[in-house]
Structure 1
């Protein structure tokens, strides 16, 4: 069960004018709880003026080896979002020694290190989880190779520029690095421009044997991830080999749908305990559960992070949108509680599966 713990800030490193890396110290007694797979994320929580703010940020540090100790530190990357309450706080107010409430790791945008060729297409802050994936894979598996294709606006706006360069120096034969800048010409390398579907459809086969890549990792804004997936599907890549994590989705008003049945209820199992509660008109199932179980897991409430994933035991729900669950997860019966609304009078969810 995901839980929050206050962790002290061990370092605040300025990456670019609009991004920082926060490093947290993990005390010995919590290191097992904060053991993470490469690519997972942390939800950070702050309470201000009586309001609780939660935001999710990917871990960029390598994952601990199986069987060894859990991590003594955790590092995340934060990019400033216009009007963003938490990102503004992270960039302008957080200092060394401050304590921030941090949820234990979550997320399924991960790679279990194994031999083979892997590749990623990332945009902007989408480099953050992939940095953890690449560094962990190449350190643990000498028979693995990785092709990293990243798009940024300018060199000055590129997060983790030095960290990626260090990885390239450390593994020159096993890490292929391709950088494309959309607003700045490079002295060498590819011409400037966006990494859209058409460009990727031409670029990817020229860079590597697309059909031999064991896993593709797409991360960043919705447009880039969507375009990269369509390009890969057009090149014959099976959907099961494409993994996605979206960082930015434009807000959209969901299409009107039939209201929930009158007197509908949700039964939820959470951390070994269950309960049944009435669903108020218009609220999501997560909102219903939170009114009665404030410890229910969530972060973004926008269908992006997947923290509120639950198994649909019985009943039917309507999800407004889903940018977090893979097709096999929804087919297996998982839903995002923050986006789910009751279609039947009785719905049962299990957050523990």
Structure 2
């Protein structure tokens, strides 16, 4: 369900990015209470077309005086309809429709040592995680390794510097610029698997970190995960969220070998109501549901955001792409409806689990 939120502030934070702050009405305070790391799904209409996008919340999940605020970071994407609108047309006082915060890339405050490897706009959810953790849990520490192209393109530079000043003994910051030399810190270049394998043990004991949070472009996240596994990090402690998948990514060989039945039927449960519909040739399970239920949850339709996650009750499906669900989730029976196609004549999914 979407709710109107009023834009209370728009701040230009780099040449190609803005931070947009929304005022949350008192009646929706509980609806929009978030866990650090979650995102907002927003929608905008261009003519007859509905555009949905997902943006991570950077606001700390702490009690705020007065009316609560939610802040998201939006970076311009080539050809991006909503990001272009946000940077060029959106104004203070405008209303934007948004769903309640969602997402499982989260860090609920608790004692321990935590670390993150982020690239570009991947800082957005991690900023909320670090700020909330350090403010609410005095026995917690956080190490942030961030990669950006240049200092001028670095999002939330002041907010991260403020954390370093406020928690000098519990917050560690390492920055890397891929296209620019810096006076101190790492030499320029990408933070790939090889560099991280050498860097991370010099910063902290990798196997002893209670939670690793990887966020940013696909290449950075995959490289960081590979480095962490090689350095002895437990798989269950590594959490990731992909922000950008550049280039053409094909379906897995196993998926392309699966034969789709000529006729199949989908049963889906959403918000306590069930329906059953024929799956038309080539369409995903999400598109099948959307033909009759416009309230079906989705944002990117690219297998990245995880908004359309559903539990596979019965039948079999193939997923073309998956950059959102972790192995534990797929092992438990969850699928991405936007990437799933029926393998059996009858398939049932449940969005409510």
Q: Same fold (TM over 0.5)?
A: yes
Cα distance per residue 1:287-313 (max 9 Å; x no partner)? 000001110000000000000000000
Q: Secondary structure in 2 aligned to 1:187? A: coil
1:52, 1:257 → 2: CA distance? Answer: 33
Please report how far the alpha carbon of residue 17 of structure 1 lies from its aligned counterpart in structure 2 after TM superposition: 0.1
Residue of structure 2 in register with 1:28 after alignment: 26
2:250–2:320 CA contact under 8 A, matched in 1: no
2:65, 2:342 → 1: CA distance? Answer: 43
Query: For residues 9 and 308 of structure 1, do their structure 2 counterparts lie closer, same or farther at Cα, with a shift above 3 Å needed?
Result: same
**Alignment map for 1:268-347 (pairs within 5 Å):** 268-347=268-347
1:15–1:160 CA contact under 8 A, matched in 2: yes
Please report how far the alpha carbon of residue 113 of structure 1 lies from its aligned counterpart in structure 2 after TM superposition: 0.8
* Runs of at least 5 residues in structure 1 that lack an aligned partner in the other structure: none
Residue of structure 2 in register with 1:109 after alignment: 105
**Alignment map for 1:80-159 (pairs within 5 Å):** 80-159=76-155
Q: Secondary structure in 2 aligned to 1:133? A: helix
Cα distance per residue 1:216-256 (max 9 Å; x no partner)? 00000000000000000111111101000000012434364
Residue of structure 2 in register with 1:51 after alignment: 49
Residue of structure 2 in register with 1:168 after alignment: 164
Query: For residues 334 and 137 of structure 1, do their structure 2 counterparts lie closer, same or farther at Cα, with a shift above 3 Å needed?
Result: same
2:47, 2:305 → 1: CA distance? Answer: 25
Residue of structure 2 in register with 1:210 after alignment: 206
2:309–2:336 CA contact under 8 A, matched in 1: yes
1:25, 1:218 → 2: CA distance? Answer: 29
* Runs of at least 5 residues in structure 2 that lack an aligned partner in the other structure: none
1:34–1:71 CA contact under 8 A, matched in 2: no
Indicate yes or no: 2:177 matched with 1:177: no
Please report how far the alpha carbon of residue 262 of structure 1 lies from its aligned counterpart in structure 2 after TM superposition: 2.6
1:327, 1:64 → 2: CA distance? Answer: 31
Please report how far the alpha carbon of residue 112 of structure 1 lies from its aligned counterpart in structure 2 after TM superposition: 1.3
Residue of structure 2 in register with 1:10 after alignment: 8
Please report how far the alpha carbon of residue 141 of structure 1 lies from its aligned counterpart in structure 2 after TM superposition: 0.3
2:109, 2:30 → 1: CA distance? Answer: 20
1:151–1:181 CA contact under 8 A, matched in 2: yes
1:80–1:91 CA contact under 8 A, matched in 2: yes
Residue of structure 2 in register with 1:252 after alignment: 249
Query: For residues 290 and 69 of structure 1, do their structure 2 counterparts lie closer, same or farther at Cα, with a shift above 3 Å needed?
Result: farther
2:309, 2:153 → 1: CA distance? Answer: 33
Residue of structure 2 in register with 1:74 after alignment: 70
Q: Which runs of 4+ in 1 moved over 6 A?
A: 68-71
Residue of structure 1 in register with 2:351 after alignment: 351
Q: Secondary structure in 2 aligned to 1:180? A: strand
Please report how far the alpha carbon of residue 205 of structure 1 lies from its aligned counterpart in structure 2 after TM superposition: 0.2
Q: Secondary structure in 2 aligned to 1:338? A: coil
TM-score for both structures, normalised by structure 1: 0.96
Indicate yes or no: 2:215 matched with 1:219: yes
Cα distance per residue 1:113-164 (max 9 Å; x no partner)? 1111100000000000000000000001000000000000111100000000
2:222, 2:205 → 1: CA distance? Answer: 21
TM-score for both structures, normalised by structure 2: 0.96
Q: Secondary structure in 1 aligned to 2:53? A: strand
Cα distance per residue 1:67-92 (max 9 Å; x no partner)? x9997110000000111111111111
Residue of structure 2 in register with 1:41 after alignment: 39
Please report how far the alpha carbon of residue 261 of structure 1 lies from its aligned counterpart in structure 2 after TM superposition: 1.3
Indicate yes or no: 2:225 matched with 1:229: yes
Q: Secondary structure in 2 aligned to 1:203? A: helix
Cα distance per residue 1:290-348 (max 9 Å; x no partner)? 00111000000000000000000000000001110111111111000000000001100
- Please tell me the root mean square deviation across aligned C-alpha atoms, in Å: 1.4
